[in-house]
Amino acid sequence: MTPRATGAPLLEARGLTKAYGAGTVLDGVSFAAAPNTVVGIVGENGAGKSTLFNILCGVTQPDAGEMSLGGRPFRPRNLAEANRAGVSRVFQEQALIPHVRVYENLLLGHEALFCHGPLVRQRAMLDVARRILSLARLEAIDPGAPTSALSFSKRQLVEIARACFTPREVLGVEQGVVLLDEPTASLLKEEERAFFDMIGRLRAHASVLFVSHRLTEVLQVSDRVLVLKDGCLVAELDPASTSQRELHSLMVGRERDADYYHERRQRDVRGGPVVLRARGRTRAGAFTDVSLEVRAGEVLGIGGLLESGKEALGRALAGLLPLTGGAIELAGAPLRAPTAARLVARGLGYVPAERLADGMIPDFPIAWNMSLASGADLMAGPLGTWNIAREQDLAARFIDLLRIRGGTPARSCRALSGGNQQKVVLGRWLCRDLRVLILDNPTRGVDAGAKEEIYGLLRDLTDRGVAVVLITDELLELIGLSDRIAILRRGRVAGVVDAAGRKPDEQAMIRLMLASESDAVWSVGTDRPSAAVPA
């Protein structure tokens, strides 16, 4: 089917409604997308954005409402039917198969078009895949390479290219609709530029619906912006005449607090007890001779480019990666073999960057995921029995404390929005007697309102004397939350920044991240070189 490319809407939705039990997650949403336009969609986690996309691409059926595509009735029964009609989607979590080749992922579901009797014409598939990668300006990616050999960011670009160009190149769709759900959350900065260039070329033959929590990029790339709140469409705005502040106010029902990072709650922790001390920590190929100390109630930020080694450092500090050198102390006691289990028993918690891949079992209930780290102590009853009543009570208490929307102890984590899933992962550690919490990009894929709540929770932890190690790609988050900031460059500490009083600017951070190896390594605000993170 080829939708009409006239002045009429390419895609139109009228009164879309969806409820799960007593909760209405989408309530009478109506909108239209004209041909060759980009429509930005913003809203808090749980506002209904993913449910809307699920309906548009056939994953979920609406309880009420109707849709049209190219002026014709449109109600896909599944994702494959939506794809054939010209609607494709990039999901918030990657949907590629890692152990097949790139060209097979690009043409997944369309293999029958390349069959000659019982034989699959792999050469023809490779030729089409090369054409798709060329249109996406991804010629450097080998279509015959295993998908698992690509970096996470490159895999994200492959998935975006599949959604953007496969319908046209394989199915002959002249005017399609592409649904992009948080497509830039996992991209490197240089690959973000490639993505936005791709969108500019895509709009010549498609309409794009673009969901992102990064309000700046929504305003930059969109022709119109739709704001969802509590399942309702509350505003439709011209990006040229609105602002991030207005979008935030419409999304969360209040203006963004000037003290977004709760900086007024930062306390002077100098001279306090050292809770975590690492000396000369080394992992071949990732980082070398890293030393740091974190005091009770302190937030030590760790920044750097994506290839700086900061993610591997966080995993190593949590006992998840073996090391080739160095020593570690937790609460004053040295650990000879710091495995994850021993560190957890001593009061250390770790929140990974990819919550669905590493942080939870999404098809299991909230209660089960919250108790995941506590089976050996908090939930263990006599003779190894499981204390189900305690688990349920604890989950109910933290669902209320963390304001997990739509959460009940028995509800599957997959049914929650991204921000609420992240709160479940945090709840797993908040229910324990924590000394140290290591966080890797704790607000990735989380909306502005949920971010502010998470920042408040982190301040609550530091008020209790918990030491926080914060690893993040977001510079403003790194600066706003941290007492001190260690910048990693090529696996070594490049500098240390005091961020407890006067906050450093972004330019100072970027200079440390990008300085050449021949430059002296200095601690910002001092006149001496720095090879470690001093107390």
| 46: CATH | 3.40.50.300
DSSP state of 524: B
Considering the domain boundaries, does residue 457 fall inside one? Answer: no
Considering the domain boundaries, does residue 473 fall inside one? Answer: yes
pLDDT the model gives residue 395: 93
Considering the domain boundaries, does residue 89 fall inside one? Answer: yes
- Same domain? 89 vs 201: yes
Q: Which of 470, 100, 471, 153 shows the shortest CA–CA distance to 298?
A: 470
- Same domain? 376 vs 522: no
Considering the domain boundaries, does residue 334 fall inside one? Answer: yes
- Same domain? 168 vs 231: yes
Q: What is the pLDDT of residues 104-156, one digit of tens each?
A: 999 988 888 888 878 888 899 999 999 999 988 888 899 999 998 888 778 88
Q: Which of 489, 490, 499 shows the shortest CA–CA distance to 525?
A: 499
Tell me the C-alpha distance between 305 and 34, whole Å: 39
Average pLDDT, integer, range 483-500: 90
Residue 455 CB contacts under 8 Å (≥ 6 apart), including other chains: 260, 261, 262, 480, 481
Considering the domain boundaries, does residue 396 fall inside one? Answer: yes
- Same domain? 202 vs 263: no
Range(s) of the domain holding residue 419:
354-432
Considering the domain boundaries, does residue 471 fall inside one? Answer: yes
Considering the domain boundaries, does residue 130 fall inside one? Answer: yes
- Same domain? 247 vs 273: no
What b/e string do you get for 319-339 counting C-beta neighbours within 10 Å, with b at 16 or more?
Answer: bbeebeebebbbbeeeeeebe
Domain end point (choices 432, 450, 483): 432
User: Look-up: residue for tokens 């921000």?
Assistant: 419
Q: What is the pLDDT of residues 397-446, one digit of tens each?
A: 999 988 888 889 999 998 887 788 989 999 999 989 999 999 999 988 77
**267 — pLDDT class (breaks 50, 70, 90):** confident
- Same domain? 269 vs 149: no
- Same domain? 238 vs 360: no
- Same domain? 237 vs 139: yes
Q: Which of 261, 284, 251, 440 shows the shortest CA–CA distance to 359?
A: 440
387 with 381: CB under 8 angstroms? yes
| R_g of the chain, CA atoms, integer Å | 24
Tell me the C-alpha distance between 228 and 233, whole Å: 5
- Same domain? 145 vs 241: yes
Question: What's 181-231 look like in SS3?
Answer: ECCCCCCCHHHHHHHHHHHHHHCCCEEEEEECCCHHHHHHHCCEEEEEECC
Domain end point (choices 415, 432, 449): 432
Tokens of 470: 């914060």
- Same domain? 269 vs 233: no
pLDDT the model gives residue 73: 95
Instruction: Identify the top-confidence range among 92-96, 195-199, 408-412, 501-505.
Output: 408-412
Is 50 exceeded by the pLDDT of residue 528?
A: no
Q: What is the pLDDT of residues 9-51, one digit of tens each?
A: 899 999 999 987 767 889 999 999 999 999 999 987 778 888 9
- Same domain? 194 vs 299: no
Q: What percent of the chain has pLDDT over 90?
A: 43
Tokens of 215: 């309000």
Considering the domain boundaries, does residue 446 fall inside one? Answer: no
Task: Please state the domain count of the chain.
Answer: 3
Domain end point (choices 192, 220, 252): 252
pLDDT higher at 502 or 74: 74
- Same domain? 205 vs 142: yes
504 vs 124, 484, 496, CA distance in Å?
55, 10, 11
